[in-house]
Structure formats: C-alpha cells, structure tokens
Amino acid sequence: MVWACFKGREKGPLIFWDKEQWGKTIKATSFTSHIVPHFHQFWQEQSQLQLDYVYLQQDGASPHQAAYTQNHFRTLGIWGYFLDWPPSSPDCNPIENLWRTLKQRIRHHNPFPTTNEALHTAIEEEWAAITPDELEALVDSLPTRLREVKNSSFFLPFNFLILLTTSFYIGPSCSGWLLRLLRSGLPTPPFFFLFHLSFPYCLYYNISLPDVSSAK
C-alpha cells in the first residue's frame, strides 16, 4: 500500500506502508502515527511558502473520518482546513487520476517489476517522473468536476424514487397483486402518484459542494 499527496505543482511525500511494522490494515491509530506526520510537515511547508493556510482534501476512508483521527487533527490545528466533501465521490478528487496515471506507467515500465523490491523502485521512479504541469492540469480540472457533479445530481433522487417505487410493485411479495391489477385494466394510482410526487422534489434538489472556483 502506498500513500501520497500533492499541492498545486508540488508533489508531497510518497510513503510505502510497512505491513510488518505498522499492521496489515490502516487504522486510525497507525494512520495518525505513520502518515499524518509526513503530510502535516508538507502542509506546513506549503502554507509558509504561499503565506496562507493550504486547504486539505481527503476521501471518506474510515482512518480519515474516525473520531480518533479527527481529534488528532484538532490537536495539530488543521481540522478546520479540511474541505467538506460528499461521501463516495472519487470523481471530485484529482489524485485518483494521478493514481491511475501511476498504475498505467508502471504497467509499461521497462523492465516490468516482478518482485516487491522492483515494484517499490518502479513506483518511486514513476512518481518522480510526474511533471508539475500534469499536477497543475489536475488542479485546474476541479471546478469543472464539481459543476458536472452538481448538474448530474439533478436526476439522482428522481431515478432513485422511480427505482424504489418500481421495485416495490414488481417485487416478489407484490408481483401477484400487480399482475391481477394489470389484467383488470385498472390504472395504478399509487405508482403514478409517487411518480408525480417525486418530480417536484427532484426539481428543487441540489447537492452542496464547496466553492473552489478560485482555489488551487
């Protein structure tokens, strides 16, 4: 397992998780002990360089969101600088593209790594080869990502409610009732009522996302 970060055109530390010493899985205690000191130092350095605090983005992994970790962030004085992101939103995180790029280049690495040691070296080499321009392009893509998510979210509850009501009426417990109703030629008021009831809800539904149009 590998952890890394970047800010603007600058790459942060690349950390290889030591399973033998730190544990086979990343938990809140080991995360704060072995990962947080590295990115906290990087955060301090970058904040000093730009003469302002750098805001942080991370996904909703349990070691990140655990109460133990949050308390640790508060102790360090950085908890207030984490941006609030919706859960399960990898499309909003540019580092996911960076991971994909890294994996693609390792697949074409020459020679192809066939041992843990060789893979370790290949990851370090390909990470070092990522250019500042590539990083900046990912950062610049963030406002577009957020706009696309906000635009696509208009249909989410509508589709969910239609799926919910449809599955309710064609589910195993109600399939016989629905079949008899359809054969009788009568309309299905509950379905159409819920269908139309869901539409005005979807019309005004919106997802709350941070405004990063001018942030890098």
* Cα angle for residues 131, 134, 140 (degrees, 5° grid): 140
Token digits of residue 47: 């904040």
Nearest Cα to 92, choosing from 47, 148, 44? 148
- The pLDDT value recorded for residue 153 is 55
Token digits of residue 92: 């909003």
- In this prediction the pTM is 0.67
- The pLDDT value recorded for residue 84 is 82
pLDDT digits (tens, 9 = 90+) for 124-172: 999 999 999 999 999 999 899 888 877 875 544 444 443 433 333 334 4
Tell me the domains of the chain and their CATH numbers: 2-140 (3.30.420.10), 149-204 (no CATH)
User: Which three-class secondary structure state does DSSP give residue 216?
Assistant: coil
Region 77-87: what's the mean pLDDT? 86
User: Which three-class secondary structure state does DSSP give residue 53?
Assistant: coil
For residue 178, give every residue at least 6 positions away whose Cβ sits within 8 Å of its Cβ, in sequence order, or none: 169, 170, 188
Token digits of residue 7: 């800010």
Nearest Cα to 7, choosing from 34, 47, 60, 37? 47
